[in-house]
Amino acid sequence: MVNSEDGFPFMKWWRPIWQWPLCAALLLLFIWPSLYNGQPFFCADTTAYIRGADAGFSKLTRRATMWTGEKPAATRGQTAMEGPAAQQRKSLSSVEDKTVLAGRSIYYGALLYFGHITGRLWPAVLAQAAAVLFTIYLTLKSLGLFTWVRFSAISLGLATVTPMAFFVSTLMPDIFAAVTILAVANLLAHGDRMPGWTLAAWVALLTAALLFHTSHVLIALSLLAAAGSCLLLAGVPIPWKGAMGAVVALALAFVGEAAFSLGVTRLVGSPPLRPPFLMARMIADGPGYRYLVANCPASQLAICGFVDRLEAANSDEFLWSADPGRGVFAVAD
């Protein structure tokens, strides 16, 4: 059988030429919602990520930017006579007040901040699209199923019949939850048989995903625990090379979190404050509220002082509302 590339020598130089335009086209396909919209999609938390990165950048370079102010533009120049109305619009994360929230990754904020200073945030969504495209490529390679036709067909299907392109086009780290799942699955299933560069690529992708949101760390740990239990119960040898790759990524994520905590402590004089997301969710969904009604004030929990406003509060109101009659975290000392 004659190899097509041997029979047609021009294919040896033609092949890398058409691969690059194809990948570029797939990248654009992955961000089609933001292209149609005219810009990437913002969420309520997007600016919190950018402000976190900007606070560090401004401190190091002693340069102020449009993100540097502690208060939104709408509140500047307001007097103390406006009282509660002005306070409701003030950011809870404030270097001036020695309060930096830990729920928004400085590392994902750096990605958005870089995108902001280089091209109106387009580089950020392109980086997200590239990460997803590379994840698909590596998965097909690991499974031994890669062809350019199959790679293109799967990418086209994901971009057009699933919400993937909307997640990629949104300035939030949610899309990296999927990267986390695929990275851990590939490392555990194929890690011992991967070439060194493929293993390193998966570890790099997983490390970035873990640094971008704490929930991804919980996902990775849960997958490792579940897979380890199944392998032990089935008597299957644990793929140590792949498992160690996942452990290395987790260790790097913990080091990154520790570096952030140390940096904040030195910058503002106190460690970052992690909002009680799980408490807010448990109370809003019912079980937490019923427990507090049954056990306060005897339990002597600090939250008992706010039970009267919890029955109708959702998790967002619990965490962020500055209304003294509805908020909890934002109005507590």
Residue 291 has pLDDT above 50, yes or no: yes
Q: What is the pLDDT of residue 107?
A: 92
Residue 69 pLDDT level (bands cut at 50, 70, 90): low
Q: What's the CA gap between 177 and 154, in Å, rounded?
A: 19
Q: What is the pLDDT of residue 91?
A: 59
Q: What is the pLDDT of residue 164?
A: 96
What is the pTM assigned to this prediction?
Answer: 0.80
326 or 245, which is more confident? 245
238 or 28, which is more confident? 28
Q: What's the CA gap between 88 and 101, in Å, rounded?
A: 17
CA angle 224, 229, 235 (to 5 degrees): 125
**pLDDT digits 0-9 by tens, 202-219:** 999 999 999 999 999 999
Q: What is the pLDDT of residue 18?
A: 78
The Cβ-side half-sphere exposure at 247, using a 13 Å CA radius, reads 8
Residue 92 pLDDT level (bands cut at 50, 70, 90): low
Q: What is the pLDDT of residue 211?
A: 95
Residue 94 pLDDT level (bands cut at 50, 70, 90): low
Average pLDDT value for the chain: 83
Residue 1 has pLDDT above 60, yes or no: no
Q: What is the mean pLDDT of residues 306-315?
A: 82
Residue 86 pLDDT level (bands cut at 50, 70, 90): very low
Residue 274 pLDDT level (bands cut at 50, 70, 90): confident
Q: What is the pLDDT of residue 9?
A: 47
Least confident of 8-12, 28-32, 152-156, 307-311: 8-12
Long-range contacts of 218-224 (CB under 8 A, 24+ apart): 219/177, 219/180, 219/181, 219/184, 220/180, 220/183, 220/184, 220/246, 220/249, 220/250, 221/250, 223/181, 223/184, 223/185, 223/188, 224/184, 224/188
Q: What is the mean pLDDT of residues 273-288?
A: 88
**pLDDT digits 0-9 by tens, 139-180:** 999 999 999 999 999 999 999 999 999 999 999 999 999 999
